[in-house]
Structure 1
Amino acid sequence: MINTSILRYSIILLVSLKMVAQEEPIKLGVIGLNHGHVGWILSRESKGDVEMVGIVETNRDLAERLSKQYNFPLDMVYSTMEEMITAVRPEAVAGFGNIYDHLAIVETCAPKGIHVMVEKPMAVSLEHAKKMETLATKHNIHLLTNYETSWYPTNLRAYELYKEGTIGGLRKVIVRDGHKGPKKINVSAEFLEFLTDPILNGGGAIMDFGCYGANLMTWLQDGKKPTSVTAVTQQLQPENNPKVDDDATIILTYDNAMAILEPSWNWPIGRKDMEIYGETGAIYADNRHDLRLRISEGYDGFSENVFRLEERTPPYDEPFALFASVIRGDTKLSPYDPYSLENNMITMEILDAAVKSAKSKKTIKINN
């Protein structure tokens, strides 16, 4: 017969060990430093959930410059993923290089059981995305894609209002994203180099900002794919973006609704906004914090509620907290969550069709 005191002590010890393990920060490796969003992790204050343990960057000048700016030691910078993984054994990595390299990150990390988060879009092509999905599924790792708009409280509230039936059945969604252009907003030379490369970025504005609308629409539609994709691209700044498009319009048709995505590097004012039109009203997510709800009254009248929303609660307020929470098992992403693999596979299918449509000047049908 087992001594009850020993049994009680064993249970307490197991619970204590589990709590300690949960409190240990996730060891995170950073792959690449040339993405302009890398400052999010380099400047992130310690919250006890994530510890940056190593960096992979072949551009020594870039590494030295950012080391001085963000005060990280150069001895944590490695030339290859294999060197970094062997030296510091990360549990997870975040990709902050060009989009083409996302596949190589998953190819290296997935077989080792290392979880991966990449910046949007998930990949440069549907072909790359399918290979990434296969590896993530085979090796049972989390593969997340980070979108800034996923943290917006306005997008969450717009989603909730729509799902609550506040504006009736969905009819049209318009998503506008972009800015004046990478060169005009003075991104770093390293960031500009791959953003304007059709191989390394998969395209120009159509990929860089078209992914936001495709991602949000897939979320709103609970993973339902469009029936067709039609896209038109232009190059309005050939002097700044000689190899890629810098303006696009993408039309998605669904059985009872339509979405118009307007990704551009030609907006005079930077923006990330969404309009959702239903049968009885409209929701305007004007930016991260400001939302308007209009309910139809007569022909052109309406009642309006205006909201100023606070930041979302952790871990949904920024990418690394969410990544750590998902890895620990504390958070389970809802079906077709903007970060989720299943959402981003459909997002990539939409982008792939949009690029093909723009090149062929034809509407591309999507198989559901």
Structure 2
Amino acid sequence: MKNWIGIILLFWISQAFAQDEIFRIGVAGLNHGHVGWVFEADKRSDIQIVGIAEPDRALAERYIRAHGLSMDLIFESLEEMLEKARPEAVTGFGTTFAHLEIVQACAPRGVHVMVEKPLAVSLAHAREMAALAQKHQIHLITNYETSWYATNEKAHQLFKEGKIGDARKIVVRDGHRGPKKIGVGPEFLEWLTDPDLNGAGALLDFGCYGANLSTWLLDGQRPLSVTAITQQLNPADNPKVDDEATIILTYPTSQTIIEASWNWPIGRKDMEIYGLTGAIFSDNAKQLRVRMARGYDGFQEEKFELDSRPEPFDDPFSVLKSVVRGQTQLGAFDPYSLENNLIVMEILEAAKESAASGKTVFLSK
């Protein structure tokens, strides 16, 4: 009996130690403007960058110097980094086109992956990534800034509680003045404005947010149809890609309108949910309003000032660690989830087709 007790205690001690063990992260690419987030995460006691795959030596040296790290972390290829550094998970901070290559290298080795939004440049890439993740039983999650927003979580909670009744219209607006005008680095600008490496312009870069949030709010419903209009309003800065996109998704009992732009005078990431009896306005990361209808055009408004989301959802690397370690199980259509983001890619692919043809695209059942 004592032997069994000892074995059980040893098991629980080993499990506790595994949960507290430092989370070893590999970084694939450095030419994404959001890569600074992973260097900030590296300052934490529970996360460590163990290898960085970046063939551009000058770019690598710039980041290594800026963050006081060693060039020993740099590897010319992802395969070499995976073999020598042995990360538990890899975060993709290169081109969107490279996301497939990351999963192709990581999945057979049992290494989990988190990429920056969107999941892929195309639906074909996304489906191949999903098949590899499922075959090799790795987690493949997609990081959106709006997934950190306490306002979006509160909006989802209130909506699901029936605060404003059934949804009739969801409006999501995202974007800024454009990559060049906001001063992104040259290595980021080069591929953001390349239709092959980014998949499109504003349509993919910011259209993915609305598709992701709509899919989450509507419990994974696929739209019946997708209609999109794209324009190139600033060809001098964006000669190869669209910089203005409006996407309309129709569902059996509602519509979603996605306004993605590199021409907003003020950067924005906001969402509006209109129900039968009221509306929820997620104005930014921490400010939310609920308006309940009164008469024809009157309303009673309640305002919320929210703090950051609770751990681990206050930080994408905490989410990645928690999911990989089995401490958090994402909902079926959580914004980070593969299930959600496959639908996002289906929507974006249909939007590109609609914009090119000038016709509404009806999704197959």
TM-score grouping bracket, smaller chain normalisation: over 0.9
CA apart distance, 1:47 = 3.6
- Greater alpha carbon shift after TM alignment, 48-57 vs 263-272: 48-57
In the alignment, structure 2 segments of 5+ residues that lack a partner are: none
- Cα distance in 1 between the residues matched to 2:59 and 2:336: 29
1:207-286 equivalences in 2 (<5 Å): 207-286=204-283
The one of 138, 154, 158 equivalent to 2:135 is 138
Contact 2:108–2:136 under 8 Å retained in 1: yes
CA contact (8 A) 2:202 2:245 kept: yes
Alignment of 1:99-118 (within 5 A): 99-118=96-115
Task: Decide which moves more: 37-46 or 112-121.
Answer: 37-46
- The yes-or-no answer on 1:346 pairing with 2:343 is yes
Shift of 1:27: 1.2
In 2, Cα distance between the equivalents of 1:350 and 1:71? 42
CA contact (8 A) 2:42 2:49 kept: no
Within 5 Å, which residues of 2 pair with 1:308-347? 308-347=305-344
> Structure 1 residue 267: deviation in Å?
0.2
The answer on 1:92 being equivalent to 2:80 is no
Where does residue 15 of structure 1 map in the other structure? 12
CA RMSD of aligned residues (A): 0.9
Deviation at 1:46, TM superposition (A): 3.8
How far apart in 2 are the matches of 1:14 and 1:294?
53
In structure 1, the residue matched to 2:285 is: 288
Deviates more, 1:11-20 or 1:96-105: 11-20
Residues 130-209 of structure 1 aligned to structure 2 (within 5 Å): 130-209=127-206
Shift of 1:8: 2.3
Q: Deviations over 1:121-162 (max 9, x none)?
A: 000000100100110011110000000100100001111111
Q: Is the 8 A contact 1:49 1:324 kept in 2?
A: no
SS in 1 for 2:235: coil
User: What is the count of residue pairs matched by the alignment?
Assistant: 365
Q: What letter matches 1:306 in structure 2? A: K
Write the distance in 2 (CA, Å) between the matches of 1:86 and 1:127: 28
CA shift, 1:90, in A, is 1.0
Range 62-71 or range 176-185, more displaced? 62-71
Distance 1:45 1:112 in 2: 23
Kindly indicate whether the alpha-carbon contact (under 8 Å) linking 2:278 and 2:291 is maintained by their aligned counterparts in 1.
Answer: yes
CA contact (8 A) 1:31 1:81 kept: yes
Say whether the 8 Å CA contact 1:24–1:48 is kept in structure 2: no
Instruction: Supply the distance in 2 between the matched residues of 1:168 and 1:332 (Cα, whole angstroms).
Output: 28
TM-score, reference length from structure 1 = 0.98
Alignment match, 1:35: 32
Shift in Å, 1:236: 0.8
TM-score by length of 2: 0.99
The answer on whether the counterparts of 1:168 and 1:280 sit within 8 Å (CA) in structure 2 is: yes
Do the aligned residues in 1 keep the contact of 2:42 with 2:48 (CA within 8 Å)? no
CA distance in 2, matches of 1:169, 1:22: 41
CA deviations over 1:73-111 (Å, ceiling 9, x no partner): 111000001111111111110000000010000011101
Which deviates more from structure 2 when the two are superposed, residues 20-29 or residues 343-352?
20-29
- Determine what percentage of the aligned residue pairs are the same residue: 58
Contact 1:49/1:321, CA 8 A, preserved across alignment = no
- Matches of 1:13 and 1:155, distance apart in 2: 42
Shift of 1:45: 5.2
2:48 aligned counterpart, secondary structure:
strand
Q: Which moved more, 1:5-14 or 1:48-57?
A: 5-14
1:300 maps onto 2:306 in alignment: no
CA contact (8 A) 2:41 2:47 kept: no
Aligned with residue 122 of structure 1, among 94, 119, 124: 119
**Cα displacement (A) at 1:353:** 0.3
| Separation (CA, whole Å) in 1 of partners of 2:185 and 2:110 | 33
For 1:37-90, what per-residue CA distance to the aligned partner results, in whole angstroms no more than 9, with x for missing partners? 100011225444322100000111111111121222111000001111111111
**Structure 1 residue aligned with 2:59, among 52, 58, 62?**
62
